[in-house]
A and B are shown apart, each in its own frame.
Chain A
Amino acid sequence: MTESVTTTCGYCGVGCRLEAHRREDDGIASISPALDGPANLGHTCLKGRFAHRFARHRERLTTPLIRDERGGPARAASWEEAIERIAAELGRVRAAHGPDAIAGLASSRATNEDCYAMARMMRAAIGTNNIDNCSRVCHSPTSFALRKALGLSGATGSFSDFDHTGATLLIGANPTEGHPVVGARIKQATLRGMRLVTIDPRRIELADYGVLHLAPRAGTNAAVVLGIAHVLARDGFVDHAFVAARTDGWAAFAELLPAYAPAAVEAISGVPAADLERAAHVYGEASEACIAWGLGVTEHKHGSEVVQLICDVALMTGKIGRPGSALLPLRGQNNVQGSSDMGALPDTYTAYRSVADEAVASSFEDAWGVPLSRTKGYTIPQMFDAAVAGELKAMYVFGEDVAQTDPNTAHVVHALESLDFLVCQDIFETETTKYADVILPASSFLEKSGTFTNAERRVQLVAPAIDPPGEARTDFEIIKAVSRALGHELPWATPADAMDEIAALTPDWAGISHARLGRRGLQWPVAPDGSDAPILYERAFAREGGRAHFAALPYKAPGDAADDEFPLILVTGRRLQHYNAGTMTRRTGNVELVDADVLEIHPDDAARLWISDGDRISVRSRVGRIELPAQVTDRIEPGHVFTTFHFPETRTNLLVGASADVNTSCPEYKVVAVDVRPIGEQPARVPALA
């Protein structure tokens, strides 16, 4: 057998530990699960196990590319030339327009060390807080809400809580496709007797294993959660001792509840009142219960408010801070948690400490030896707005395909076209690299070292199984080189050195080092002695006075709604076989299993619209139009349609408008009013921009 390396999966946020077996002649021979992986317990899914061929795909970027003129052809270039060009252009923009005319995007796919390096480069080498990462468009509402309600931005427990809980409310998540290994763990728990309530406009697979499925109209989660809280309060499930001892704000929240009687919630959400009562009782009657959620909660206009209401439900019943009683956001990407933990955000340093906090900022100034801005930078949507407005002139996009994955695609493309200079650092050419002036060939998770932080706050080691192809380099090396060229040396030989700096500057990470992480990782906060925290808030919350905070937030209507012109609501999501923009999975055998995006539509709607299974159809929203095949299924509620955004030829996000979470700008991917109709027999392969 060939050489094997234990590493952490680079797909979703579960954080499966993998054994990558290297082929003698380069490349990955196979991948198997690490038997001692704490999140995956010797299991993995088809992405982690099989979808690794992309790493040696012929389309990998293997040399830097430069466009001598915007929109012109790209040519191969040396690293020296590419980095010189970047330094010169960014220097020119900074000189002419100031550091805040430059913005950078770190990636939730990249390691903690890469993200930290990127954030330091933007802050110290460029001098701006214009740094954000793609968690903006998925779980930023979770992060915001958890910090506001409980103190820390992370799950309060671990996946193992599913193994010893009596009941779980699963809201707006489809784990058997999006987080397959956790989905499998939840399914096994239901078969052992854990009572599962699924809440989603789609009848997801796990609904077949649960005791109850609620299908609220998209955008009405807040009403459903308030309705559950109403029943819990009405029927005596409030843990008054806990509320009194460990929380504040209960009275204001309690005052809100009378308005959310089950009948009233039924009118808003369409969820039968009796089902709502049952759901509340399933949760309330279990001595230990969990709530888990995904992007079906967050990617809404009021997503961050719904997460706070979810926290309210756990707090009022005291089901938090114990084994089996946890709040478990299912993070989308492998390092959604870590990229934000690392301060690749426009308003915070590591561990969510404000850029305006003088003590924190000066500690980084001392460490980095440069003055740092106290002004919040742009979020991702603000970056695009600023680019269109002419205020942002240059961007450095690392490991993201914003032109495919971000909402309001036409606006994103307009923004990229408006820039003076765009750097992309990626492993493949993407929709976004089409607009780049310099493209840097980077490395996949199989080619780098560092750490990812999974949805349990577990920091786990990533180890290289193979080398980057051709001239490609690790992201860590690339960022170091660019930063050096910009005049700011990142003083680390290895990612482990970078982690030592992170630990030194971040109290919650004080005890973390690569050596200490070992095979099982550590769940932050990690004390200087190395003891970690599988369960948060066992004794106190991480807010002032140690008390959690009830948010008293009423239901508010979503940003978009069906009307006569756009009578159906589009929900977008992920399929098992593919991963987000499909950059990796489309370049593996997974396309033999699923080779296109399809639109799921309920048989009643399909019949009314004269649509048959497999028909090519047109989907039009207020901002765009796409074409794709229909799949008629009763897994989706009438009035809703569902699709994915895995294939660039579909360009689903052309349909998604500018509506976003009120607190975090996370786009409202989950509620888009659309018009669906059949089209003629000649399919247009190139979707029309509206």
Chain B
Amino acid sequence: MSRNLVELVRRHHAFDAPTALDVLKDAVERRGELTDEDRREAARRSGLPEAAVHGVSTFYDDLLTPRGARHLRVCTGTACFAATGDAHVDALRDGLGLQLGERAADGSVSLAETVCLGFCHSAPAVRDGDTVDAGPGVVERALAGACVAAAEPAWSSTLAEPVLTRPGDWSGLRRVREEGVTPEALLEAVTAAEIRGRGGAGFPAGVKWGFARAAAGEEKFVVANGDEGDPGSYIDKHLMERNTALLLEGMALAAHAVGASHGFVLVRSEYPRSRPALEAAAEAARAAGWLGERFDVTVIEGAGSYVVGEETALLACLEGLRGTVSARPPFPAQEGLYGRPTVVNNVETLCNVPFVAVHGADAYRALSPDAPTAGSKLVCFNERFARPGVYEVPFGVSTRWLCEELAGGLRDGRSIKGVQIGGPLGGILPAERLDTAFDFDALAAEGCMLGHGGILAFDDATSMRDVARHLLRFGAHESCGKCFPCRIGLQRAHGLFAADAPIDRARLEQLLETLELGSLCAHGGGMPAPIRSLLRWWPEELGLAA
């Protein structure tokens, strides 16, 4: 990201004021589309040059599709695909007589696609305004203008001493304050607890915090990455909407440890309930004295971009800039938000911290006795399962136990063909490999990843070539456009599977290698993983050339 643009924003923009992106989003919401005057207004208010604002306005999905009086967004995430094979998309398109991204000539209604509304437990999902409806009959209700809010998923814990499903009560921060726990001591505890990042990469949180604490600079930030873009995952959504205090407490503790004065949560615009929930929780926390002068939190909503979940892109989005990935170094811990040292942690990662602050590192490490990884994990299941929902589990249990016992296997007598774990960048585990332990290294050995912890089953009726096409369409659409392998390579890979022609396996493998070795971030680097799984387990379904 341009250091100069970041500096211009830093100088001209109070960080709780609307960013250029906020101004643009607001204009779209008010009038249904953007004008150059809106862009100029965003430039004036943010300190950004007009061209930079133009660039922003062409990047985010939310700004690109025109909106009618009624704006319908149909979920094309993987859980919805697994549920209907995209039949719900076609039904809405036909019913409305509109293509995706189109607005009726009379302006009454518009249809857009959105990738993952986080109602994967009840797919397919459709959003009408800010109401998300999901499950059987949703298309009919949407066409009739009668959407109703879908039920939130069930949640429970398999642990006696839950970490993440325990309602946040500020007991960790209370202990820090009452007992005068120093930043150094808290950092040491978090380091000793070996909290690994839950956003996918699994980087030790304590190490990251240590870098940020050691970085020079008066002003530091804590950022909660709530851009849970992985289709099929609704874990962070659950935390951001239904365990808000736990997240805010985790952020306050992180701030204490690294010496940060302000925090930001980036929530997804696909989760319309997240920002209000967090803002209400922050207000309550201020009233109770947990947030305020020493450390406060601003909640910022994204605008439709998967790659913004990558930490450098996330920071750019928070600054109101294009959500493209930047090469590291510099790492955010040295030069992050507004060029200041910044801790960026996934929402779930931060939610582990209060437990450590209360009970200490040893108690935390003891939670998963059968696994190398400390702590516990939230997992979630898609609608294909009999008992989808959010569950807190220890690491190291078998994937089969999770799928067949905890989630009850598939509904309607279907059987599992494969499960994709941890989002679209994760490999696909075939049914015969479900005994693999649910942990970072064990899954990696199978070409899979723990990722975010979303477990998404494809049933026996699913065409695996369709899965490849679905995933690559998503990958190409969401490429931020910065690095060449991802920008062009995913387009070409999708082209291979979308064309009605046999696929040259050598050509495909060359492309996958280019993506894996060449991509700047995990998006391009990870998209080959499920394709490799498909090549490994279901080659005959892919239409490879003889």
A and B touch in the complex (CB under 8 A): yes
Residues of chain B within 8 A (CB-CB) of A188 are 4
Q: Is A389 an interface residue (CB 8 A)?
A: no
Residues of chain A within 8 A (CB-CB) of B4 are 188, 191
Residues of chain A within 8 A (CB-CB) of B3 are 191
Q: Is B7 an interface residue (CB 8 A)?
A: yes
Residues of chain A within 8 A (CB-CB) of B7 are 191
Q: Once bound together, how far apart are the Cα atoms of A188 and B4, in whole Å?
A: 8
Over the window 158-199 of chain A, the binary record of Cβ atoms lying under 8 Å from chain B Cβ atoms (1 yes, 0 no) is: 000000000000000000000000000000100100000000
Which parts of B1-21 form the interface with A (CB within 8 Å)? 3-4, 7-8
Nearest A residue to B5 via CB reads A191
The smallest beta-carbon distance between A186 and chain B, in angstroms, is: 14
Q: Once bound together, how far apart are the Cα atoms of A171 and B384, in whole Å?
A: 72
The smallest beta-carbon distance between B34 and chain A, in angstroms, is: 26
Residues of chain B within 8 A (CB-CB) of A191 are 3-4, 7-8
Q: Once bound together, how far apart are the Cα atoms of A188 and B8, in whole Å?
A: 12
The smallest beta-carbon distance between B344 and chain A, in angstroms, is: 24
Interface residues of A (CB under 8 A from B): 188, 191
Q: Once bound together, how far apart are the Cα atoms of A191 and B49, in whole Å?
A: 14
Q: Once bound together, how far apart are the Cα atoms of A231 and B4, in whole Å?
A: 33
The smallest beta-carbon distance between A428 and chain B, in angstroms, is: 37
The smallest beta-carbon distance between A212 and chain B, in angstroms, is: 13
5 A-B pairs in the complex with CB atoms less than 8 angstroms apart: A188-B4, A191-B3, A191-B4, A191-B7, A191-B8
The smallest beta-carbon distance between A328 and chain B, in angstroms, is: 23
Q: Once bound together, how far apart are the Cα atoms of A191 and B4, in whole Å?
A: 6
The smallest beta-carbon distance between A83 and chain B, in angstroms, is: 55
Query: 5 nearest interchain CB pairs?
Result: A191-B4, A191-B7, A191-B3, A191-B8, A188-B4
The smallest beta-carbon distance between A634 and chain B, in angstroms, is: 15
Q: Once bound together, how far apart are the Cα atoms of A188 and B7, in whole Å?
A: 11
The smallest beta-carbon distance between A321 and chain B, in angstroms, is: 30
The smallest beta-carbon distance between A561 and chain B, in angstroms, is: 38
The smallest beta-carbon distance between B217 and chain A, in angstroms, is: 12
Nearest A residue to B12 via CB reads A208
Q: Once bound together, how far apart are the Cα atoms of A191 and B8, in whole Å?
A: 8
The smallest beta-carbon distance between A183 and chain B, in angstroms, is: 15
The smallest beta-carbon distance between A402 and chain B, in angstroms, is: 41
Q: Once bound together, how far apart are the Cα atoms of A188 and B5, in whole Å?
A: 11
The smallest beta-carbon distance between A209 and chain B, in angstroms, is: 9
Q: Once bound together, how far apart are the Cα atoms of A188 and B2, in whole Å?
A: 12
Nearest B residue to A190 via CB reads B7
Residues of chain A within 8 A (CB-CB) of B8 are 191
The smallest beta-carbon distance between A198 and chain B, in angstroms, is: 16
Q: Once bound together, how far apart are the Cα atoms of A148 and B4, in whole Å?
A: 41
The smallest beta-carbon distance between B224 and chain A, in angstroms, is: 29
The smallest beta-carbon distance between A271 and chain B, in angstroms, is: 23
Over the window 7-47 of chain B, the binary record of Cβ atoms lying under 8 Å from chain A Cβ atoms (1 yes, 0 no) is: 11000000000000000000000000000000000000000
Q: Once bound together, how far apart are the Cα atoms of A616 and B8, in whole Å?
A: 37
Nearest A residue to B4 via CB reads A191
The smallest beta-carbon distance between A508 and chain B, in angstroms, is: 40
The smallest beta-carbon distance between B248 and chain A, in angstroms, is: 33
The smallest beta-carbon distance between A62 and chain B, in angstroms, is: 44
Nearest B residue to A188 via CB reads B4
Nearest B residue to A211 via CB reads B11
The smallest beta-carbon distance between A35 and chain B, in angstroms, is: 21
The smallest beta-carbon distance between B341 and chain A, in angstroms, is: 16
The smallest beta-carbon distance between B465 and chain A, in angstroms, is: 50
Q: Once bound together, how far apart are the Cα atoms of A98 and B369, in whole Å?
A: 110
Nearest A residue to B3 via CB reads A191
The smallest beta-carbon distance between B2 and chain A, in angstroms, is: 10
Q: Once bound together, how far apart are the Cα atoms of A191 and B5, in whole Å?
A: 9
The smallest beta-carbon distance between A193 and chain B, in angstroms, is: 8
